[in-house]
Amino acid sequence: MKDKLSERLILLATAQECMTDIADMMEQWSGSQLNTEKNAFESMNVSDYVLNMSKEGKQLVEQLQQCSSDIGVGVASDEYRRLTALMDGIKKVFLNIAEASAEVNDKSHRIEGEVAYQKEMGDNIKNSLIVVRDSIDSAVACDEFMMADL
């Protein structure tokens, strides 16, 4: 019986060591999640800024186009067409920037949602590990008590 209890204590001690390792890994995972969440939030801020700037750029080009139309009467038609084509090109660039920024912003929101879900799962895992750790600790205490009686 004493040999069996010694074997169980060795197994339980190994399980306790594993629980310590798992707790360390969970802390590292939690830190990584915080970094991911922070990066997703910063990415959303940057993409919002780029989106707003591209909208402002598009509005400025539209104002420039209107100005150009207003004074276009006195400009040679070839020069006016070149100027109009240039402004159209600039406007398209701003529209493309706005589309790309909106896509990045959407992906950042999705990442943030996934991080929140992973945090919830991590909390559930931590709670389960606490139950397992407490059970192992109780088993160790029980076996040690029984060993003391032998």
Task: Give tens-digit pLDDT for 61-85.
Answer: 888 888 877 776 666 778 878 888 8
- Pick from 29, 19, 33, 9: which is nearest to 128 by CA? 19
Mean per-residue pLDDT of the chain: 87
Query: Residues of 20-48 as b/e, b for ≥16 C-beta within 10 angstroms?
Result: eeeeeeeeeeeeebeebbeebeebbeebe
Q: Whole domain around residue 97: which residue ranges?
A: 2-149
Would you state the pLDDT for residue 128?
Answer: 92
CATH code (residue 136)? 1.10.287.1490
Number of domains in the chain: 1
Would you state the pLDDT for residue 5?
Answer: 82
